Every structure is written in structure tokens, then in C-alpha cells.
């Protein structure tokens, strides 16, 4: 069995050596734009070049090194009938849950105020907040959205969830479909986005969405930059409808130096680190699926390419 590794890591051996250890009988290649086809059976990829699918005609499946497969689906020449497999969790959901939790509590418990006092050597107690004043709405109720929801429920926050399809999560009021989107937003003060990026969700956080939220709203975006119409967020902040945003993803990454977000004290910016691919967990999952697939066993995580996730 031949496996082709296609990702922009300058040290691909960090991936290929453990892959070889996990699949001792496999022949492992690293993508080289100038090399001929190696007739790979499987490819492990992150944002692969279009030539991959021109050159490698025997691929039985492509394994994406992340949960979001929007980067892979937009590659031209992706054969319509190829099996695309996304990463399932592999330690991402828990990282996302703790990131969201941390950022939420930073806001609700005014931790920045206490950090500033700490730096100044000042002891001052502020009025405690009521968690009933911070109803939360989570967009996207896949593996990640569900885990974020459960974490926040466990800390007694009021949590609403919205997704295209129907979901049931203990302690969460769930809403589904476009018809209930505005109702969901009307219950929400802290909007958390964990949606996959598809044609249907592109630009879903826009002026209308933000104005449907409860007053003095907060946005936490850990989905994709393209979910948010960035100028609409700035307008909603100027109008006071949104008082704070935590953004881990952006239309353009790295976020350009002259982007207006940097100058806003009420926008928290992190460089796409809310959930990182953990190499060991990821390769254990992917090599296990390659073994199963090669033996004709069913595997999970196969993407519905039409739907986009």
C-alpha cells in the first residue's frame, strides 16, 4: 500500500516517521511538485495543490488533516467520486471547548480588569456578575459544537444551540433550520460560531444576524473567518449592539498588519489556535482508518461533498 503525504510542513518527517511506525508495511511518499506520480492508494493532505488530483489517478481516499474540509473541497480537479475523509475530533473538540470557556469567563468575570489591577498593585473587588445575564447561543452542533455546549452547561450557563438539522443535547435548548435562526439569535447574548464553512454558511454572521442578538452582545468566532462579514462586525460594534468580540479565525490569515481589527480594544485576536491538530492523535486515527479501508471495512468521517461537511 502506498501513502502520499501532502502538506506544507517544512519537516514532513515529523508526520511520515510516526505514520511508518503505525503502518510498517506501507510505502510512504512525500509530495514533490516536480516528481512523477507514485500511484498512491491514499493521500493524507492539508490544502493540497490542484496537481495532486491530475497526477495521482489511483487514490482510493483522501484523508484531511483537520475537521474543516473547506480548504480541500475548493481544490480544482477534486474528482467527484473520490472518498474524502475529515478528521474526527482527535483532541480538537476539547481544546475548542476550553478555549471558548476561557474566553467567555474572561469576559463574564471581567478578568481583564483584575489583571490590570494586579499589574498596578491595586486591590479592588467589583460587583459579581449574574450568569443569567449571559445567555449563550452556539451555532453548529457537530462534535465540536456539542462539546462546547456541554462544557458551558456544566458551568450553569443558559445555552441555546442552532444547526441545520435537529440535535438533542442535555440542558441545551436546540433550534434547527433557517426558520428558527432569528428566534435563536433573539435568545442569545453570546454568539459562539462552530459551524463548518459551506456555501450555505458563508457570510452567515452579518449585519442582520448581529442585530438580531440581544443587546450588548458578544461574538466568539472559532469557525472560519469567512463565516463573518468583517465590516458588519465593525459597524455593529460602532453602534454599540456588539460590545466585544473574540476572533480566532479571519478572512485572511495571518490577519494583515493594517487590518482595522488590531486597533480595537474590544476585539480579542488569537492566531487560529483555538484547536490545534495534535500529531499523535491525528495519525493514530488516520492510519487506523487507512488500515480498515484497505481491508474493506467501513470507516467513519466520510464527507458528503455536495453538502460540504
C-alpha grid cell, residue 103: 474566553
Lay out the sheet containing 267-269: strands in order across: 172-176, 159-163, 136-139, 190-193, 217-221, 242-247, 267-269
Contact segment (CB under 8 A) with its own copies among 107-115, 166-174, 201-209, 237-245 equals: 107-115
Decide if 23 contacts 287 (C-beta within 8 A): yes
User: Rounded to an integer, what is the distance from CA 50 to the centroid of its chain?
Assistant: 23
Q: Looking at 8, 177, 240, 271, which residue binds its own copies (CB under 8 A)?
A: 271
Binding of its own copies at residue 276 (CB under 8 A)? yes
How much is the CA Rg of the chain, to the nearest whole Å? 21
Of the two residues 84 and 192, which places its CB atom closer to its own copies in the complex?
A: 192
Q: Looking at 30, 78, 94, 234, which residue binds its own copies (CB under 8 A)?
A: 94
Contact segment (CB under 8 A) with its own copies among 64-72, 121-129, 188-196, 213-221 equals: 121-129
Q: Check if 227 is active-site.
A: no
State the helix-helix crossing angle for 143-154 and 92-108, rounded to 10 degrees: 40
Binding of its own copies at residue 102 (CB under 8 A)? yes
Binding of its own copies at residue 14 (CB under 8 A)? no
Give the DSSP H/E element, type plus range, for residue 27.
Answer: strand 27-30
Q: Looking at 25, 34, 81, 125, which residue binds its own copies (CB under 8 A)?
A: 125
Binders in 242-261 for its own copies, by CB under 8 A: 253-255, 257
Strand partners, 5: 30, 44
> Among 86, 160, 164, 224, which one carries the catalytic annotation?
224
- Nearest Cα neighbor of 145 from 127, 133, 126, 161 is 161
Distance CA 248, CA 241 (A): 21
Binding of its own copies at residue 58 (CB under 8 A)? no
Distance CA 66, CA 14 (A): 17
> Among 150, 189, 272, 279, which one carries the catalytic annotation?
272
Binding of its own copies at residue 151 (CB under 8 A)? yes
Q: Looking at 101, 234, 302, 305, which residue binds its own copies (CB under 8 A)?
A: 101
Of the two residues 24 and 254, which places its CB atom closer to its own copies in the complex?
A: 254
Decide if 175 contacts 197 (C-beta within 8 A): no
Distance CA 200, CA 206 (A): 13
Of the two residues 52 and 159, which places its CB atom closer to its own copies in the complex?
A: 159
Quick one: residue 104, left, alpha or beta (phi over 0 = left, psi -120 to 50 = alpha)?
A: alpha
Footprint of its own copies (CB under 8 A): 94-95, 97-99, 101-102, 105-106, 109, 111, 114-115, 117-118, 121, 123-126, 128, 130, 150-151, 154-156, 253-255, 257, 262, 268-273, 276, 278
Amino acid at each position: 500500500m502506498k501513502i502520499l503525504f501532502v502538506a506544507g510542513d517544512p519537516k514532513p518527517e515529523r508526520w511520515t516517521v510516526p505514520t511508518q511506525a503505525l503502518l510498517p508495511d506501507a510505502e510512504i511518499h512525500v509530495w514533490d511538485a516536480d516528481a512523477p506520480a507514485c500511484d498512491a492508494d491514499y493521500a493524507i493532505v492539508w490544502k493540497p495543490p490542484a496537481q495532486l488530483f491530475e497526477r495521482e489517478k489511483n487514490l482510493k481516499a483522501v484523508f484531511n488533516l483537520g475537521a474543516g474540509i473547506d480548504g480541500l473541497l475548493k481544490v480544482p480537479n477534486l474528482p467527484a467520486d473520490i472518498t474524502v475523509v475529515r478528521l474526527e475530533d482527535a483532541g480538537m473538540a476539547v481544546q475548542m471547548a476550553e478555549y471558548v470557556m476561557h474566553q467567555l469567563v474572561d469576559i463574564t468575570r471581567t478578568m481583564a480588569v483584575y489583571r490590570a489591577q494586579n499589574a498596578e498593585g491595586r486591590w479592588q473587588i467589583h460587583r459579581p456578575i449574574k450568569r443569567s445575564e449571559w445567555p449563550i447561543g452556539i451555532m453548529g452542533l457537530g462534535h465540536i459544537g456539542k462539546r462546547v455546549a456541554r462544557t458551558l452547561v456544566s458551568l450553569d450557563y443558559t445555552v441555546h444551540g442552532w444547526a441545520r438539522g435537529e440535535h438533542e443535547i442535555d440542558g441545551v435548548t436546540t433550534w434547527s433550520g433557517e426558520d428558527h435562526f432569528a428566534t435563536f439569535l433573539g435568545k442569545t447574548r453570546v454568539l459562539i460560531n462552530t459551524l463548518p464553512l459551506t456555501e450555505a454558511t458563508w457570510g452567515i454572521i452579518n449585519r442582520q444576524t448581529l442585530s438580531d442578538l440581544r443587546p450588548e452582545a458578544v461574538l466568539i468566532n472559532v469557525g472560519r473567518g469567512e463565516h463573518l462579514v468583517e465590516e458588519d462586525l465593525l459597524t455593529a460594534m460602532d453602534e454599540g449592539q456588539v460590545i466585544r468580540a473574540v476572533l480566532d479565525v479571519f478572512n485572511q490569515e495571518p490577519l494583515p498588519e493594517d487590518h482595522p481589527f488590531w486597533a480595537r480594544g474590544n476585539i480579542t485576536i488569537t492566531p487560529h489556535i483555538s484547536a490545534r491538530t495534535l500529531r499523535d492523535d491525528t495519525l493514530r486515527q488516520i492510519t487506523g482508518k487507512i488500515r480498515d479501508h484497505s481491508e474493506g471495512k467501513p470507516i467513519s468521517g466520510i464527507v458528503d461533498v455536495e453538502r460540504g461537511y
